[in-house]
Amino acid sequence: MMRDGNKTCAELMDLGRCILGHRQVLPGIACMVEEIQIEGTFPDGTKLVTVHQPISRLDGELELALYGSFLPVPSLDLFTPPSSAYMEGGEGKEGAEEEEEEALGHFLTPPGATWNVNEGREITALRVTNMADRPIQVGSHYHFIETNPYLCFDRARAYGKRLNILAGTAVRFEPGETKTVALVEIAGKKVVRGGNNLCDGPVEAGKVAGIVEGLMKKGFLHEPQDEGEEGAEGGKEDEGEGRKRRKTNVLAPLTVCRAHYSHFYGPSIGDVVRLGDTALYVRVERDLTWPVGDECKFGGGKVIREGMGQATLETETCLETVLTNALVVDYTGIYKADVGLRGHRIVGIGKAGNPDMMANVTPGMVIGVGTDVIAAEGLILTAGGMDAHVHFICPQQADDALASGVTTFVGGGTGPSTGTKATTCTPAPAHVAFMLQSTDSIPLNIGLTGKGNTSRPEGLEAVVEAGAIGLKLHEDWGTTPAAIDCCLGVAERMDVQVTIHTDTLNEAGCVEHSIAAFKGRTIHTYHSEGAGGGHAPDIISVCGEPNVLPSSTNPTKPYTKNTVDEHVDMLMVCHHLDSSIPEDVAFADSRIRGETIAAEDILHDLGAISIISSDSQAMGRVGEVITRTWQTAHKMRLQRGQLQEDQEREEEWARQEEGNGWALPPGVTTENFRVRRYVAKYTINPAIAHGMSHVIGSVEVGKWADLVLWSPAFFGAKPEMVLKGGVVAWSQMGDANASIPTPEPVIMRPMFGATPGGLGEACLAFVSQKSVETGRASALGLRKRVEVVRGNRTVGKRDMKLNSALPKIKVDPETFRVTADGVHLTCEPLDVLPLAQRYYLF
């Protein structure tokens, strides 16, 4: 249509709202797609077309949708109301106006409830006249005495004050207009910097006369105002419009509706946020960006500007990057904060800004001239994900992982060799060196595991000395009790972790014999349910052992109607089996059990399985660790209801909100504890298990700044931005030739932090302590920062955050019935999952 040249840019903006309707998309899509921007070539060159609310009708005009394709236009009768399968309760209804769309990405706040703005500060009324022939607009944090010379007012009364309005908003004075505004004292150290340099220093009453005299000499208008002048705007006629101004007492305390506040600054204390299209809702537990009125807000006329939210201090004392007003979702809690970064690490979590004029700025979180800003209001911030079960089959895995929010790989392999397609082993010291060097240009943190299958220690010590951070025992190489004992012995001496894929065949012993071979030593058991491999049928019982760190791989997460059917062929390919050999088929069949897969979901919800990983391209999907974690949490919320911990906290919140007369909608409960439990499964717990939690795994001060930002509507499916070591490595990005970053196609793309020259200092290569002591690690010449793993041998199940449960698990060898502490663990497979077809075409 653009090329045809028959319609103007404005006409196409209107036409774009007619192409698709509610009946042509899944429920919730209309509220997720609030705007579409496209750049194209008109007869007069490239122009931007912006379509607001592109899905706003019941039915679209499909001839427009198929314009130029020469495809037949289908009848609208083929489209039915959106399926109620995606909606918990209720049928789809006819009519876009009546359709009960799911509120994806919207915040739930108490209707009518308010926050007090600039609470406790003295308010001053000031009469101001614009004597210029041009409009003048003044932002919330601009030192009012320093404003335009053509504004006429009592500048002495304005000394040390700013407008009493919401942070990041402004007051506009039209030419010749007089209005009365409210001012409040600046906060913090009460220092005036910048503007027109009329004051430049601490606010001191004795300076006022000299400052006023000086500014008048410079041509700034000043008109004293009587102390007793009323702080109210009059009701006089507005000559231009013929309307009466509403009489407003500017001295009255300022309040803001909580719904408006959450829209402008992101959700705050007590507000509720839905995660993606799941049944998971979280409530903001605390807000570290307060007090209300001094929030950091970047943009034209907003807060983070010179002398206002940006301090005039040395760059060395200021943040390098600040993420403003983020909703942090971490194992440590769910709360609102500014997050400050410097030197690739998180250096502050709290309130950022300018302590000269803002209240409660957290020490070490000063915004200065050397600070960049990532506006995170309305977004969710999590730690970068860690995939602790990676087969290094192809380097392209990194793209899918990063695009999903994973920033760390632990595993092994040498490429698409037959051994690597089955096992996560980097066998020889030369292989370890090669893989550390070849992954040096991949923008992920990397840790490699060697092969642990031997009953003699010599070869194992050599591969650890080469830099391996762990040893992998895999049944395809022979996971015998002798190999287990030898491997763990070397690990104990060299402080590395052991990961294990136990013996499905029960050839050298059963699960109890492998547990005996552990001898109480720490071990990370991969795919502990067993479909991914392990003692049939009861490997899942290891989840009750105090020295075992159990994990799942994602094809079985969660249990759905198609889970069992897809697994057999998957297994045959990965483990180089032959369908013409009956024993190979029997081996495959023995690993796939709906009963233990169902129990696995519940054990995750109980906190008895601590980690979720991928098993990339070897019975696992590298880009779905995070998605499947939240799908599992959703399934458990539907099938098991609210956890006891969440019920108790919800009762407390209900009592607190009672004064607002607000209750959550029917069927909605908050799941903060459950969400914290599940986010720990792919962040802090794998980091603890592999000796990396001193550097990565959570949103905490001192940790490496591997962070992921999510739009709430897309949480768990598609991140907005991925930071590696505090620099943007991957981000949603539109057409690179466009006039702005947002025209289609907007997809996850590599950014400067993912370039070979940019990733060196931002990414980590994890190695063993021995490799550093011997100089083997430094000899590799890696650009990545080399980091040593530690504490691998002292960790236990007790250290798995929010996932340390130790039930006594038994499996009936004939029926595969699973019990935990005598309780039968079973659940039905789901037919439909969230974070699926709404978000992905293929």
What confidence tens digit (pLDDT) does each residue in 310-351 have?
999 888 889 999 999 999 999 999 999 999 999 999 999 999
pLDDT band for 449, please (50, 70, 90 cuts).
very high
Grade residue 103 by pLDDT with cuts at 50, 70 and 90: confident
- Tell me: pLDDT of 731 over 80: yes
Token readout for 762 is: 């931002």
Q: Name residue 321's beta-bridge partners.
A: 341, 372
Q: How confident is the model at residue 85 (pLDDT cuts 50, 70, 90)?
A: very low
pLDDT of residue 83: 47
Looking at residue 486, its pLDDT comes to: 98
Residue 204, pLDDT > 50, answer yes
pTM: 0.94
Residue 508, Cβ density class (10 Å: 0-12 exposed, 13-18 middle, ≥19 buried): middle
Higher pLDDT, 103 or 781: 781
| Other C-beta atoms lying within 10 Å of the C-beta of residue 37 | 21
Helix, strand, coil abundance in the chain, percent, nearest 5: 25, 25, 50
pLDDT mean over 285-306: 96
Please give the structure tokens belonging to residue 275: 């995660």
- 47-68 pLDDT per residue, tens: 999 999 999 999 999 999 999 8
* 629 touches 683 (CB < 8 A): no
For residue 81, the model assigns a pLDDT of 66
Element (H, E) at 135: none
Residues paired with residue 243 on neighbouring β-strands, in sequence order? 238
- 106 labelled catalytic: no
The residues, ordered by sequence, that sit 6+ positions from 423 with a Cβ below 8 Å of its Cβ are: 391, 412, 413, 451, 472, 474, 476, 477, 501, 618
Beta strand pairing call for 470-474 and 497-501: parallel
Q: Which CATH number fits domain 385-641+795-824: 3.30.450.20, 3.40.50.11540, 3.20.20.140, 3.40.50.11820?
A: 3.20.20.140
Q: Are 702 and 345 in contact (CB under 8 A)?
A: yes
pLDDT at residue number 225? 93
The pLDDT, as a whole number, for residue 463 is: 98
Closest CA to 174 of 238, 230, 231, 227: 238
**Is the pLDDT confidence value at 244 over 90?**
no
With contact defined as beta carbons under 8 Å apart, do 745 and 737 qualify? no
What residues form the annotated binding site for substrate?
474
Lookup: tokens for 60: 């679209």
pLDDT for residue 556 is more than 90: yes
Tell whether the model's pLDDT for residue 124 goes beyond 90. yes
* Residue 284 in tokens: 């903001």
Q: How many helices (H) and strands (E) are present in the chain, helices listed first?
A: 20, 39
Residue 422 CB contacts under 8 Å (≥ 6 apart), including other chains = 474, 476, 574, 575, 576, 618
**Fold that domain 115-218 belongs to in CATH:** Urease, subunit B (2.10.150)
Q: Does residue 242 register a pLDDT over 90?
A: no
* DSSP symbol at 209: H
Q: Which residue has the higher pLDDT, 263 or 574?
A: 263
Question: What's the distance, CA 238 to chain centroid?
Answer: 49
Beta strand 201-202 pairing with 151-152: unpaired
Q: What is the CA radius of gyration of the chain?
A: 31
585 CB burial (10 A radius; 0-12, 13-18, 19+)? middle
Per-residue pLDDT tens over the stretch 792-831: 999 999 999 999 999 999 999 999 999 999 999 999 999 9
Of 497, 557, 439, 541, give the one whose Cα is nearest residue 687: 497
Q: What is the pLDDT of residues 600-640, one digit of tens each?
A: 999 999 999 999 999 999 999 999 999 999 999 999 999 99
User: Helix, strand, or coil here: 270?
Assistant: coil
- Phi first, then psi: what are they for 127, rounded to 5°? -85, 125
Band the pLDDT of 94: cuts 50, 70, 90: very low
Please say whether the beta carbons of 710 and 728 come within 8 A: no
Token readout for 680 is 């720990």
CA separation (Å) from 653 to 26, 102, 107, 339, 356?
Answer: 33, 24, 16, 26, 36
> Are 664 and 305 a contacting pair, CB within 8 Å?
no
Q: Where are the domains of the chain?
A: 2-84, 115-218, 385-641+795-824
Of the listed 143, 575, 634, 690, which one is catalytic? 575
Report the alpha-carbon distance of residue 454 to residue 474 in Å, rounded: 11
- In what helix (H) or strand (E) does residue 419 lie, and over which residues does it extend? helix 418-422
How far separated are the first and last CA of the chain, in Å rounded? 28
**Which pLDDT score is estimated for 228?**
64
Q: What is the DSSP letter of 72?
A: P
- CA pair distance 364, 354, nearest whole angstrom: 11
> How many angstroms separate the CA atoms of 461 and 486, rounded?
11
What's the mean pLDDT when you consider all of the chain?
93
The pLDDT of residue 231 is 53
Annotated binding site for Ni(2+): 389, 391, 472, 501, 527, 615
- The span from the CA of 187 to the CA of 530, in Å, is 60
Q: Which of 837, 701, 826, 710 is nearest to 319 (CA)?
A: 701
- Stated as kind and residue range, the H or E segment containing 591 is helix 582-591
Q: Where are the beta strands (DSSP E) in 34-90?
A: 35-42, 45-52
pLDDT, mean of residues 257-277: 96
Give just the sign of the alpha carbon dihedral 146, 149, 153, 155: positive
Q: What residue type is assigned to position 397 of the chain?
A: Q
Residue 507: exposure state from Cβ atoms within 10 A (0-12, 13-18, ≥19):
exposed
Is the N-terminal amide bond of 834 cis, ω within 30° of 0? no
The whole-number pLDDT of residue 100 equals 42
Q: What is the mean pLDDT of residues 365-376?
A: 98
Q: Parallel, antiparallel, or unpaired for β 237-238 and 191-192?
A: unpaired
Cα distance between residue 575 and residue 569, in whole Å: 10
pLDDT interval class at 584 (50, 70, 90): confident
Contact 105, 711 (CB under 8 A): yes
- Sign of the torsion angle spanned by Cα atoms 510, 514, 517, 520: negative
User: For residue 664, what pLDDT is reported?
Assistant: 86
Is residue 834 pLDDT above 70, yes or no?
A: yes
Q: What percent of the chain has pLDDT over 70?
A: 95
What residues pair up with 383 in beta bridges, in sequence order? 707
CA distance 49 to 769: 57
**Amino acid present at 327:** L
DSSP for residue 17: G
Name 381's bridge partners: 328, 709
Looking at domain 2-84, its CATH architecture is: 2-Layer Sandwich (3.30)
For residue 738, pLDDT beyond 60 = yes
Rounded Cα distance between 343 and 341, Å, is: 7
Per residue in 764-777, pLDDT (tens digit) is 999 999 999 999 99
Asked whether the CA dihedral 508, 512, 514, 516 is positive or negative, the reply is negative
Structure-token match 């998309």, residue found: 25
Interval 168-190 mean pLDDT:
97
pLDDT of residue 28: 87
Query: What pLDDT does 47 receive?
Result: 94
Q: Are 142 and 308 in contact (CB under 8 A)?
A: yes
352 neighbors 301 (Cβ within 8 angstroms): no
Mean pLDDT of 442-457: 97
What pLDDT is recorded for position 246? Answer: 41
User: b vs e for 253-282, b when ≥16 Cβ sit within 10 Å of the residue's Cβ?
Assistant: ebebebbebbebbbbbebbbbbbbbbbbbb
Print the SS3 string covering 737-775: CCCCCCCCCCEEEECHHHCCCCCCCCCEEEECHHHHHCC
pLDDT at 235 over 60: no
